[in-house]
Amino acid sequence: MSAFHKNALPAGYPLAEYTIESVLGHGGFGLTYLARDTRLGALVAIKEYLPHEIAARDGKTAVIIPNASRDAVRDYHWGLKNFVKEARALARFKHPNIVRVLRFLEDNGTAYMVMEYEEGGTLAGQLKQQKRLDESSLLRIIIPILNGLHAVHEANMLHLDIKPENIYLRSDGRPMLIDFGSARQAITAAGHVQKIALTQGYAPMEQYPDKGKPGPWTDIYALGATMYRCISGKRPEDGMERYRAILKYTVDPLTPAVKIGAKHYQKNLLECIDWAMQIYPKDRPQSAHEFQDGLMGKSRGGSREPITSPPLARSSRPVSTPAPSRPRVAGRRDKNGTAVRWIWAGLALIAVGVVPVVFWSDIKPVLSGLLVFPKAEQPKTARPATRTTSVKPKRNQTRKSAPKTKRVAKKPPATRPVYRTRVISNLPAPSKLFRTLNGHKDWVLSVMFSPDGTRLATGGNDKIIRLWDVGTGRLLGSLGGHGYAINAVTYSPDGKWLASAGVDGSVRLWNPKSGLQQGALRGYGYAFYAIAFSPDAKRLAAGGKDRTVFVWDVDSGAQLYALEGHKGDIYAVSFSPDGKVLASAGADKTIRLWDVSNGQEIASLFGHKDKVLSLAYSPDGKWLATGDAGNVIRIWNTYNGTQERTLTNLDRSVLSLAYSPDGKWLAAGTAADTIRIFDARSGRLAQLLIDHEGYVQTVAFSPDGMVLASGSRDNSVKLWKSK
Average pLDDT rounded to a whole number, residues 129-148? 91
Task: Please give the model's pTM, rounded to 2 decimal places.
Answer: 0.49
Q: What is the overall mean pLDDT for the chain?
A: 80
Residues 132 and 104 in one domain: no
Burial of 353 (0-12, 13-18, 19+ CB in 10 A): exposed
More confident residue, 354 or 295: 295
Q: 426-477: per-residue pLDDT in tens?
A: 678 999 999 999 999 999 999 999 999 999 999 999 999 999 999 999 999 9
Cα 347 to Cα 345: distance, rounded to the nearest angstrom: 6
Burial of 332 (0-12, 13-18, 19+ CB in 10 A): middle
Q: What is the pLDDT of residue 426?
A: 65
Q: Would residue 664 count as lying in a domain?
A: yes
Helix (H) or strand (E) holding 216, with range, is helix 216-232
CATH code of 465's domain: 2.130.10.10
% of the chain surpassing 70 pLDDT? 79
Residues 451 and 587 in one domain: yes
Domain boundary among the residues 116, 141, 167 is at 116
Is 375's pLDDT higher than 80?
A: no
Q: What is the pLDDT of residue 95?
A: 87
Residues 61 and 143 in one domain: no
Of the candidates 339, 334, 337, 341, which has an alpha carbon nearest to the alpha carbon of residue 644? 341
Cα 659 to Cα 662: distance, rounded to the nearest angstrom: 8
Q: 222-266: per-residue pLDDT in tens?
A: 999 999 999 999 999 999 999 988 887 778 899 999 999 998 999
CATH code of 242's domain: 1.10.510.10
Contacts of 158 (CB under 8 A, 6+ apart): 152, 182, 185, 214, 215, 216, 218, 219
Q: In what order do the strands lie in the sheet with 612-617?
A: 612-617, 623-628, 633-637, 643-647
Q: Residue 388's pLDDT band (boundaries 50, 70, 90)?
A: very low
Residue 673, number of CB atoms within 10 A of its CB: 17
Are 291 and 223 in contact by the 8 Å Cβ rule? The answer is yes
Cα 564 to Cα 381: distance, rounded to the nearest angstrom: 8
Q: Would residue 331 count as lying in a domain?
A: no
Q: Would residue 217 count as lying in a domain?
A: yes
Q: Residue 650's pLDDT band (boundaries 50, 70, 90)?
A: confident
Average pLDDT rounded to a whole number, residues 152-169? 90
Average pLDDT rounded to a whole number, residues 201-205? 92
Q: Would residue 134 count as lying in a domain?
A: yes
Average pLDDT rounded to a whole number, residues 10-30? 87
Average pLDDT rounded to a whole number, residues 66-78? 79
Domain boundary among the residues 236, 271, 295 is at 295
Q: Would residue 390 count as lying in a domain?
A: no
Q: Residue 179's pLDDT band (boundaries 50, 70, 90)?
A: confident
| Position 497, amino acid | W
Residues 96 and 234 in one domain: no
Contacts of 277 (CB under 8 A, 6+ apart): 221, 224, 225, 228, 236, 254, 257, 284
Cα 627 to Cα 172: distance, rounded to the nearest angstrom: 39
Number of domains in the chain: 3
Q: Residue 197's pLDDT band (boundaries 50, 70, 90)?
A: low
Residues 19 and 153 in one domain: no
Is 624's pLDDT higher than 70?
A: yes
Are 529 and 545 in contact by the 8 Å Cβ rule? The answer is yes
More confident residue, 23 or 188: 23
Is 52's pLDDT higher than 60?
A: yes
- Grouping H, G, I as helix, E, B as strand and the rest as coil, residue 207 is helix
Residues 92 and 198 in one domain: no
Q: 464-517: per-residue pLDDT in tens?
A: 999 999 999 999 999 988 878 899 999 999 999 999 998 888 999 999 989 999
Concatenated DSSP letters of 378-436: S-----SS------PPPTTPPPPPPPP------PPPSSPPP---------PPP-EEEEE
Is 55's pLDDT higher than 90?
A: no
Is 183's pLDDT higher than 60?
A: no
Residues 101 and 142 in one domain: no
Is 563's pLDDT higher than 60?
A: yes
Q: In what order do the strands lie in the sheet with 548-553?
A: 528-533, 539-544, 548-553, 559-564
Cα 339 to Cα 316: distance, rounded to the nearest angstrom: 37
Residues 40 and 169 in one domain: no
Cα 632 to Cα 597: distance, rounded to the nearest angstrom: 32
Most confident segment among 64-68, 262-266, 352-356, 623-627: 623-627
Residue 711, number of CB atoms within 10 A of its CB: 32
Residues 542 and 459 in one domain: yes
Q: Would residue 255 count as lying in a domain?
A: yes
More confident residue, 66 or 707: 707
Domain boundary among the residues 116, 144, 176 is at 116
Residues 79 and 172 in one domain: no
Q: Would residue 349 count as lying in a domain?
A: no
- Grouping H, G, I as helix, E, B as strand and the rest as coil, residue 161 is coil
Q: Residue 657's pLDDT band (boundaries 50, 70, 90)?
A: very high
CATH code of 78's domain: 3.30.200.20
41 Cα distance to chain centroid: 39
Q: How many residues does the structure list for the chain? A: 723
Q: What is the pLDDT of residue 127?
A: 94
Residues 37 and 66 in one domain: yes
Q: Would residue 350 count as lying in a domain?
A: no
Q: 588-597: per-residue pLDDT in tens?
A: 999 999 999 9
Q: Residue 28's pLDDT band (boundaries 50, 70, 90)?
A: low
Of the candidates 323, 322, 289, which has an alpha carbon nearest to the alpha carbon of residue 308? 289
Of the candidates 21, 23, 2, which has an alpha carbon nearest to the alpha carbon of residue 13? 21
Residues 23 and 158 in one domain: no
Q: Give the residues across from 260 on adjacent strands.
A: none
In which domain, by residue range, is 205 found?
Answer: 120-295
